[in-house]
Structure 1
Amino acid sequence: MTAGRFLTLEGGEGVGKSTQARLLVAALESRGVHAVLTREPGGSDGAEAIRALLMQGDVRRWSAHAEALLFAAARADHVEKVIQPLVGSGSWVICDRFIDSTRAYQGAQGIDDAAILALHAFGSRGLLPDRTLLLTLPAGEGDARAMARDGGEADRFAARDTDFHRTVVATFDRIADSESERVRRIDASGAVDAVTERLIDAIADLLP
């Protein structure tokens, strides 16, 4: 049986994670790799219920500490019920956001990285992806894309101010710098199919 893999796509608002996650699944399937798309927060019944609490309502609905706990709970259910069983059965799981988004978004609100990782160690037994693909765009381009995408209906996180999102991007950069064996930066500019090819190139060493 082919070994399963766990890949995540990360990045700030508007970089095309969801689009590229779908295209990556299709590209893997075309190469004979069974791939499954999932997302965070969400991906399992319990985690999707928590997603509704996290993504809707006023920006101030939850404190940063409460958000971190909710994300950890959703992820624990997602990992146990979906990710680990699929990878264990030989599937490749492609996840739109994972622990690094919590580190970036809740970290931007002052939650210590060590505390976030401790919650992850408890709830999800410290599971990390085989490869994390960090999509990047020049400053401002992602914001413009996100505005066009949301049409004035941004969720609780996308609706936050520019300084917040700059801090999020900077945190992703720090994670990529410190964990370069796992995290690969991917230029998300240009045609969508060209970006997908960059993703495939970044996981070529993992392909069967």
Structure 2
Amino acid sequence: MARGRFILLEGCDRAGKSTQCEMLVAAMKERGHSVELCKFPDRTTTIGQMIHAYLTNTRELDDRAIHLLFSANRWEAMQAMKRKLQQGIHLVVDRYAYSGVAFSTAKGLDLTWCKNPDRGLVRPDLTFFLDLPTSEAEKRGGFGEERYEKRELQERVRDVFLQLKSNEWVIVDACKSVQSMHNELLREVEHKIRVAEEDAKLADDEDDILEDMFM
């Protein structure tokens, strides 16, 4: 049995990540896949509640402190995520370490320092970057409600994301319709899973989880 695939959706605020994650999970379930949705930050944990208070402007924290809290929020989910992937469950993840690095670097922290707390996290098998100009994001409902939703910061965040991207990333035009984006994401995911399943049938060795984030 092939292990589950870690499918990540990244992008600036209001790019449509949460909507696309939910649509992707629903479509994969319809096709018979075992799949779960994960969101970062996970605001249900004690650490997540501190992050939520910060993001909603009800608590002030030093930029380095909040960066480390975001990282800790990811680390506390690692064992459960690994276990699910090993059980053959696919994970569709809404934001991850790339967001943490992009936002903190955009605020003026050192890029390498920002990467260090997340080194060794499970690395995604497939990363989508939903690319949306800030001028378009501002037109979408809810923009500006949270701390980071400011034009200048969002533009710097996008620049850092583009520095972080690798050839393995799939860049998606987030100006397209919701359905067009969904069709593109689902097509890429189905291809990734199909190739992994075919490789698993041929391979003698175990298909290891990628534990080399930022290495």
8 Å Cα contact 1:41/1:75 also seen in 2: yes
8 Å Cα contact 2:75/2:121 also seen in 1: no
Name which of 115, 122, 128 aligns with 2:123: 128
The structure with the larger Rg is 2
8 Å Cα contact 1:54/1:70 also seen in 2: no
Alpha-carbon distance in 1 for matches of 2:123, 2:46? 21
Name which of 164, 176, 184 aligns with 1:198: 184
1:23-34 aligned at under 5 Å gives the runs 23-34=23-34
Alpha-carbon distance in 1 for matches of 2:16, 2:106? 21
Post-superposition offset of 1:34: 1.1
8 Å Cα contact 1:7/1:132 also seen in 2: yes
8 Å Cα contact 1:22/1:37 also seen in 2: yes
1:108-119 aligned at under 5 Å gives the runs 108-119=106-117
Counterpart for residue 157 of structure 2: 168
Alpha-carbon distance in 2 for matches of 1:94, 1:43? 17
Counterpart for residue 45 of structure 2: 45
Counterpart for residue 87 of structure 2: 89
Post-superposition offset of 1:44: 6.2
Taking only aligned residues, the RMSD between alpha carbons, in angstroms, comes to 2.0
Alpha-carbon distance in 2 for matches of 1:11, 1:101? 8
5+ residue gaps, structure 1, are none
8 Å Cα contact 2:43/2:49 also seen in 1: no
Q: Percent identity?
A: 27
5+ residue gaps, structure 2, are 195-215
> Secondary structure at the residue paired with 2:26?
helix
Structure with greater helix share of residues: 1
> Secondary structure at the residue paired with 2:81?
helix
Counterpart for residue 55 of structure 2: 55
Counterpart for residue 142 of structure 2: 149
> Secondary structure at the residue paired with 1:29?
helix
TM-score (norm 2): 0.82
TM-score (norm 1): 0.85
